[in-house]
Structure 1
Amino acid sequence: MKKVSKDDNFYFLFFALLGLLFTSAMMQQLFEGGQKMILALIIVCLALSIVGVNHKQTFYRSWYGFLLTLAGISGAFSFFEGYDLSLVTLIALLFFLLSHTYAALKQVMLTDYVSRNQIVGSVCVYLLLGMSWAIIYLIQIELFPKSFNGIEDKAWIDNLFEVIYFSFITLTTVGYGDISPVLPIPKFFVFLESLTGSFYLAIMVASLVSSRLNQSDNHR
Structure 2
Amino acid sequence: MIDRLYPYRFELFLFTQLSILFGSLIIPVEWFENWVMPVFLLCNIASGVLLVAKRRTLSRFMFSFLVISVVMFSMGFINSEIEHRFSYIKLGSYFIFFAIVTIEIIKQVWKAKIVGKNVILGVISGYISLGLLAFFLCLSIEIITPNSFSGIVSIPGVNTDTTEQLMYYSYVTLMTIGYGDILPITPIAQKASVFIGLIGQFYLVIITAVVVGKYIQHSNYNIKD
**2:38 aligned residue (13, 26, 40):** 40
Greater helix proportion = 2
Equivalent position of 2:23 in the other structure: 23
2:134 equivalent to 1:136: no
- The number of aligned residues is 214
SS of alignment partner, residue 174 of structure 1? coil
**1:206 aligned residue (189, 201, 209):** 209
Equivalent position of 1:101 in the other structure: 102
2:187 equivalent to 1:184: yes
Distance in 1 (alpha carbons) for counterparts of 2:193 and 2:44: 25
Aligned CA distance change for structure 1 residues 118 and 35 (closer, same or farther; 3 Å):
closer
For residues 43-70 of structure 1, what are the alpha-carbon distances to aligned partners after superposition, in whole Å with 9 as ceiling and x for unaligned?
3331342364364434333322332343
Aligned CA distance change for structure 1 residues 10 and 37 (closer, same or farther; 3 Å):
same
Residue 133 of structure 1: how far off its partner (Å): 0.8
2:166 equivalent to 1:163: yes
Which deviates further from its counterpart, 114-123 or 133-142?
Answer: 114-123
Q: Which amino acid aligns with 1:43?
A: L
Aligned CA distance change for structure 1 residues 31 and 203 (closer, same or farther; 3 Å):
closer
Distance in 2 (alpha carbons) for counterparts of 1:128 and 1:101: 6
Unaligned runs of 5+ in 2: 155-159
Unaligned runs of 5+ in 1: none
Aligned CA distance change for structure 1 residues 213 and 74 (closer, same or farther; 3 Å):
same
Residue 163 of structure 1: how far off its partner (Å): 1.4
Aligned CA distance change for structure 1 residues 57 and 82 (closer, same or farther; 3 Å):
closer
Which deviates further from its counterpart, 49-58 or 117-126?
Answer: 49-58
Residue 24 of structure 1: how far off its partner (Å): 4.3
Distance in 1 (alpha carbons) for counterparts of 2:15 and 2:84: 33
Equivalent position of 1:67 in the other structure: 65
Which deviates further from its counterpart, 48-57 or 62-71?
Answer: 48-57
For residues 136-161 of structure 1, what are the alpha-carbon distances to aligned partners after superposition, in whole Å with 9 as ceiling and x for unaligned?
111111101111012259xxx94322
Aligned CA distance change for structure 1 residues 165 and 25 (closer, same or farther; 3 Å):
farther
Instruction: Tell me if the contact between 2:151 and 2:182 (Cα under 8 Å) persists in the aligned partners.
Output: yes
Aligned CA distance change for structure 1 residues 158 and 85 (closer, same or farther; 3 Å):
farther
Distance in 1 (alpha carbons) for counterparts of 2:56 and 2:152: 40
Instruction: Tell me if the contact between 2:14 and 2:121 (Cα under 8 Å) persists in the aligned partners.
Output: yes
Distance in 2 (alpha carbons) for counterparts of 1:117 and 1:182: 40
Aligned CA distance change for structure 1 residues 183 and 90 (closer, same or farther; 3 Å):
same
- Counterparts of 1:90-129 in structure 2, within 5 Å, are 90-129=91-130
SS of alignment partner, residue 137 of structure 1? helix
Instruction: Tell me if the contact between 1:70 and 1:92 (Cα under 8 Å) persists in the aligned partners.
Output: no
For residues 192-219 of structure 1, what are the alpha-carbon distances to aligned partners after superposition, in whole Å with 9 as ceiling and x for unaligned?
1111111211221133123213312321
Residue 180 of structure 1: how far off its partner (Å): 1.0
Instruction: Tell me if the contact between 1:173 and 1:194 (Cα under 8 Å) persists in the aligned partners.
Output: yes
2:60 equivalent to 1:57: no
Distance in 1 (alpha carbons) for counterparts of 2:102 and 2:146: 28
RMSD: 2.8
Residue 83 of structure 1: how far off its partner (Å): 4.8
Distance in 2 (alpha carbons) for counterparts of 1:99 and 1:51: 11
TM-score by length of 1: 0.83
Instruction: Tell me if the contact between 1:104 and 1:125 (Cα under 8 Å) persists in the aligned partners.
Output: yes
Residue 82 of structure 1: how far off its partner (Å): 9.5
